[in-house]
Homo-oligomer: A and B are copies of this chain.
Amino acid sequence: MQIIEKISNMQSYVKKNRLDDKSIGFVPTMGYFHEGHLSLMRIARQKCDILIVSIFVNPTQFGPNDDFDKYPRDFDRDKKLCERENVDAIFIPSAEEMYPKGFIAYVDMDGDMTEVLCGKYRSRHFRGVMTVVSKLFNIVQPDIAVFGRKDGQQLALIRRMVADLNFPIEIIGGRTIRENDGLAMSSRNKYLNSEQRKSASALYKSLLLAKTMIENGETDSFEIIAKMKDFISNSGDFEIQYIDIVDADTLKPVNTVQNKVMIALAVFLGETRLIDNIIV
């Protein structure tokens, strides 16, 4: 397994494999792996000759009050886990390598899709995500790239960006991997104390509650969201940022549930922001 820090070295590595007619699978990450990340690697591993994983805690997608500085990092552990998943190369550039002095180009998305859900509260977040993903796509030139469905809005926006800007890349969404009590795996779960960790299982339970309501014929989004809010508020010391029901593809808010919807939420437990979603 190769560890590559320089963009130019990554480009040479990719070029060589392209000339050998190897297909390239790519899993972009911020590191500090859990089973969710590993499941994405396994999807890509099965579909491609060469598996490249990037580890880059991208400064441009964190806001001034976000947890960039304390975001968990453990490269030695990540490296061992990559070896176990038969990763061919880890790309781990520095921030200076990715954003040299004078950097000014950005990929941004207009309109509603970025202004709902997380976008309402993290205004520059998706601009940072789209820009770094575009850069990584151009550097790694993968045939397929795998993203987790836990970041549901991110996945929908990346699919849209890939279509709009004509990246010749197939995007695959890997299912959300959960702890035994249903909590979606996240590198940020390590911030939770034991009491918070216990109550955090209410998030997925509230999503299942919504799912059951819809399956039983409830179509009124306000009704469903109200029940979810009640349930979460009674389950621990949560501060709810949003609970929304949106069209699964366009992310437009839905008042009456008819087609495929994404039910998505973001809450704070103390300082820790957690997100989750299901598609019904």
Interface residues of chain A, those whose CB is within 8 Å of chain B, are: 7, 11, 15, 19, 21, 102-111, 113-114, 130-131, 134-135, 138-139, 141, 160-161, 164-168, 250
Q: What would 8 more interface pairs be, CB under 8 Å, given A105-B160, A105-B161? A: A7-B166, A104-B110, A104-B111, A104-B114, A105-B107, A105-B130, A139-B168, A141-B168
| Bound: A144/B109 CA distance, A | 28
Whole-angstrom CA separation of A107 from B160 in the bound complex: 14
Asked if residues A105 and B139 are in contact (CB atoms below 8 Å), the reply is no
Task: Name 12 A/B residue pairs within 8 A (Cβ), A-sorted.
Answer: A7-B166, A15-B168, A19-B21, A104-B111, A105-B107, A105-B130, A106-B109, A107-B108, A108-B108, A135-B166, A138-B168, A139-B168
Question: Min CB distance, A137 to chain B, in Å?
Answer: 9
**Given A102-B250, A250-B102, A165 and B110 touching (CB < 8 A)?**
no
When the two chains form their complex, are residues B160 and A104 in contact, meaning their CB atoms are under 8 A apart?
Answer: yes
A109 and B104: CB pair below 8 A? yes
CA–CA, A159 and B167, complex, Å: 19
CA A7 – CA B104 in complex, angstroms? 28
Q: Are B107 and A113 in contact (CB under 8 A)?
A: no
The docked-state distance in angstroms from the alpha carbon of A250 to that of B101 is 12
Residue numbers in B under 8 Å from A168 (CB-CB): 11, 15, 138-139, 141
Instruction: State the CA gap A113–B131 with chains docked (Å).
Output: 18
CB distance from A249 to the nearest CB of B (A): 9
**In whole angstroms, how far apart are the Cα atoms of A102 and B113 in the complex?**
10
Expressed in whole angstroms, the minimum distance between the Cβ of A157 and any Cβ of chain B is: 9
CA–CA, A220 to B7, complex, Å?
41
For the complex, what is the distance from the CA of A207 to the CA of B15, rounded to whole Å?
Answer: 43
Which residues on B sit within 8 Å (CB–CB) of A21? 19
Partner of A165, one of B102, B105, B111, B166: B105
What 8 pairs between A and B have smallest CB-CB spacing?
A105-B164, A138-B166, A104-B110, A105-B161, A139-B166, A104-B109, A135-B166, A104-B111
Given contacts A7-B166, A138-B167, A168-B141, A109 and B102 within 8 Å (CB-CB):
no
